[in-house]
Amino acid sequence: MYKKTSLYARHIAAGGKMVEFAGYEMPIQYSSIVKEHNMVRQHCGLFDVSHMGEIAVTGPESAKLVQYLVTVDISEMEPGEVKYTPMCYETGGCVDDVLVYKKKRDFLLVVNASNVEKDFEWIKKNNKFDAEVKNISSEVSQIAIQGPMAEEILLRAIDCDELPQKYYTFIETDIDGSKDCIISRTGYTGEDGFEIYLNNELAPEVWGKLIIAGGEDITPCGLGARDTLRLEAGMPLYGNELSADITPLEAGLDRFVTLDSQDDFLGKDSLIAQSKNGLNRRRCFIELTGKGIGREGNLVFMDDIRVGYLTSGSKSITLDKSIGLAMIKLPYNKIGGALQVNIRNKNVEGVIIRGPFYKRKK
Amino acid sequence: MNIPSNLKYTKEHDWLEPLGDGTYKLGITEYAQEALGDIVYVELPEVGDEISAGDTLATVESVKAVSEIAMPFDCEVLETNAELEDEPEKLNVSCYETWIAVLKIYELEEVISAEEYEELIK
pLDDT tens readout for residues A316-328: 999 999 999 999 9
The DSSP H or E segment spanning B120 is helix B114-120
Q: Which residues of A touch B66 (CB under 8 A)?
A: 293, 295
pLDDT(A4) > 80: yes
Q: Looking at CA atoms only, how far is residue A315 from chain B in angstroms? A: 6
Q: What is the mean pLDDT of chain A?
A: 97
Looking at residue B77, what is its pLDDT?
Answer: 98
pLDDT(A161) > 80: no
Q: How confident is the model at residue A337 (pLDDT cuts 50, 70, 90)?
A: very high
**DSSP letter, residue B61:** E
**DSSP letter, residue A254:** G
Q: Which domains does chain A have, with CATH numbers?
A: 8-50+138-232 (3.30.1360.120), 280-353 (2.40.30.110)
Looking at residue B110, what is its pLDDT?
Answer: 87
Looking at residue A177, what is its pLDDT?
Answer: 80
CA distance B92 to A230: 25
Looking at residue A91, what is its pLDDT?
Answer: 98
Residue type, A48: D
pLDDT(A89) > 80: yes
| Mean pLDDT, rounded, for A153-178 | 91
The DSSP H or E segment spanning A173 is strand A170-175
CA distance A314 to A291: 12
Q: Is B40 on the interface with A (CB under 8 A)?
A: yes
CA distance A120 to A53: 9
3-state secondary structure of A332: coil
Angle at A99 between CA A98 and CA A102, to 5 degrees: 135
pLDDT(A9) > 80: yes
The ipTM estimated for the assembled molecules is 0.88
Q: Is A311 on the interface with B (CB under 8 A)?
A: no
| Mean pLDDT, rounded, for A222-243 | 98
| Mean pLDDT, rounded, for B82-89 | 95
Residue type, A125: K
| Mean pLDDT, rounded, for A260-278 | 97
Residue B83: what are its φ and ψ, rounded to 5°?
A: -55, -30
Pick the CATH number of B9-113 from 2.40.50.100, 1.20.1260.10, 3.40.50.720, 3.60.10.10: 2.40.50.100
Q: Do B41 and A293 touch (CB under 8 A)?
A: yes
pLDDT(A362) > 80: no
Whether residue B111 contacts residue B9, with contact meaning beta carbons closer than 8 Å, is answered with: yes
Looking at residue A361, what is its pLDDT?
Answer: 85
pLDDT tens per residue, range A13-25: 999 999 999 999 9
List all residues of chain A from 225 to 254 with a beta carbon under 8 Å from chain B: 227-228
Query: In percent, how much of chain A has pLDDT > 90?
Result: 96
